[in-house]
Structure 1
């Protein structure tokens, strides 16, 4: 960022932009929540304690629920970027600020100086002593009176440093690529020996760029919200026009009738007005909902842009993971449910009068398109799969790059608009867009299975589990037992990978750093014999397709049986071969039947729901499947092709 642009950004600093929304004072030790809103650390502590028995706290700005870290408020990320801006602002507006050193000595002296290097406010005596120690003799101290004009704001920012919490006074200058954490020199020597470490200035380049790219994707979501808002405005216009047309029709009819008809006229218009008011109210609420979502996204983008454009290198490194997680969540946020639907009323004229006491001249009816209240978020298991509509066929064999026809052994959705393909025949892991465009090859290994968890891509081969970050750099390689297993893999609770060994019938749980967290052995009654493909649902259950028993088995995270499903013919025989398996956002279970070229859909309880033959769409022997957050199912088959289906729900 140029010096002129940074000076302008610092010049905009004011008490309103630096006030904690909870206590309305200038931030004290600002703490960043996962929704990218900040509160003072004391305010976060109060909020945390108020919900001591709950697993979540609610952000006071956006009302979004945030999971409480297991290690208390220390699990929230300090907002180093905002803290640096507060320090600059306080240097310009310092009044009645106590000397930090005197406070430690339980003295009450006002500060007249500021150390531009470490940021401490000091009195005259402490200022003199500050330059007499070996650790601080080179620090630059300036009178507060010379900082009030703001001319040295950028200099203050440039001199600010972030020190290590474990090694007091040691500046953060490095970044451990292995552990994905900023570190100081002492940390590198003590805890990160043998790890891949780089200078913070070098490491921040790719991460700053990755955040900037995600910001662009969320900005596209805001544009989509604008179009949906236009749809709501158009709906309001249609409601007004329809109301006007119906009133005119009622008026023409009522003029020909007597007093009883006049009374019924009043009744029907009252009902009509009430109905239209309800629909207008629904539009107003939907517009407020859209504006709220847009404001939250804009606020997130403003903060992320400030960090990307104004943040210091180390600040970006500390905050980029939280920002990327938030940008990722906003990228995949579904917007199509916000489009307005309404039921156009109609008024029927009854031309047979059976009694003059109650003629029954009018009847108000509504079409089925309108939902009177804004749709609430769908709960898991709340939607029934009625069928599939073929959207496109995608060739995964890349001309002039692949030596053989692609043989898909793994599929996973990536960020909602891309998917990862494991090509065992050509020893490649490929990325495609949802439109079927090839993007890149991220690894040249012989993949057995693929899963995506958060922003980490997990790929198994017959020897190891390989973890890749979203910028396609290798994160970690974990050796697995060489048993000849195919090692199916899935994501669990958006925090872990589950790898199955179909020879030993065990399930290993790894975190996103590649650390082994748990080793599950199915309980005696779980009936798991040969786990060929695995997936998981929102409840944390592991679901297995077992080729030895020709069944789909659901078990909990301790290995106990929850449900077993077998598909039997009319003759009682088990005539299917359950293959790849995946769950959608409603916990419906999709199973590919390799032997009969069909897709079997089970409900969240593991009961039969639907059978769909894929040969009708030119797909023979379906092998691998994956679903995304937009209602699409991708299925691989013979010939290196994928079929992409839109799931039809009722």
Structure 2
């Protein structure tokens, strides 16, 4: 039977020069004489690039290939034995540490028990005498309990580590998201700068073109005057060179010819009118400062005022006279409010016609102050004093010109030039009416429009709560200039100060058409890219509509009340 590693003498596994075990970096190398020395010691012997050395034990000359000790053969058997020798020694020390220690009070007695009360290990004699009244357990059981406790704590610690690592990953993702957003913003700034550069270049070209005709006139006049001066000087030199050398007879004969030609050359012709304008074409900048854009930071606004007791405020508009008009769907009424001493007071209730029992869905105001109220898929017109005037026709001719289609109106807004825009939810279209209410155009939309807001006279914003879309449509070309996903979007409006669109949203419930009360928000989006800029307000009850007051404050119909914000 092979002997154990303890039978192997340690000196057989060590270098005869440095007495280090044959383990890295002291790799055992076999010499030609079969003796073994470590690589470290042999390297010291070949300093200077020598190709031969003497064996440290037998002094025999040993050839070293190219003077490189690592090229010598390694005694793998000895190195393996040396490594195992180290492992056995470490295991023996570990086992020695784990052996049960003996009692200090009773010689030779090993302590197999543990006193819980005193929290000390004891032997069997200690158990019978000094600790017989104490709670005593086997030491192995106590150790196992403590190991279980430590393992539980370590598992919790690992859970904390994973939590911290997840947070670190979240921070990394946040940093990457910010970096990506920064690059996108930089690209947008570069694009804006490029547009400005192209515009400036076009203005320079226009300026040059505006003065090009004058430049041509100047060049032609300069060339004409130069030729005339040259001709006069040539004739002058000719007369001057001949007047003194000619005989009196010859001069008298040539005098008339000289005079006629000189007078012809010096006739004052009317030159081109190049001195009438005192300066070049004047560049006229558009009014206001040049606005390249802006940087936005997350912000939050709080309501400055809150008024009204509504059942379900569904529409909101600021009239040209400065009034706030609210359509209350739940109470079947439209109320007009005016600001008095920094508070909104009810001015009047518009008495709706009894012939139409449908609830008011939305309200808008014409430039002349008239009220437009959406009821029963139609639009009713009321005077400034709230008197019923007439009903706007709600039928449009089909594309083929055959018959008429009923317009299913659910929202209405007006442009500055008095045109009326109605959202035809049933046919996914927007109908454009003239100030008298006649339909002049029907614009098909990619989604079903539910809420509308005009951008001056050129564009209209629309939202569709069910599809979660907000679009901007060019009223002239009927093309969509923006189409973005904004889930649960309802009321929309345009902010002239920032050139942004504002949207009210509600978190949708599990049932179709149901929303969670108290989860409404007001968000600000870029008009051109649809990028979310900021969440302006949260925790709204159930917002439906937005409007700016005459003094520039933002008002929101929050179902039960109207909230007015001081600034954005």
Scaled to the shorter chain, the TM-score interval is: 0.3 to 0.5
With the length of structure 1 as denominator, give the TM-score of the two structures: 0.36
The normalised TM-score by structure 2 is: 0.41
Higher RCO, 1 or 2 (CA under 8 Å, sep at least 6)?
1
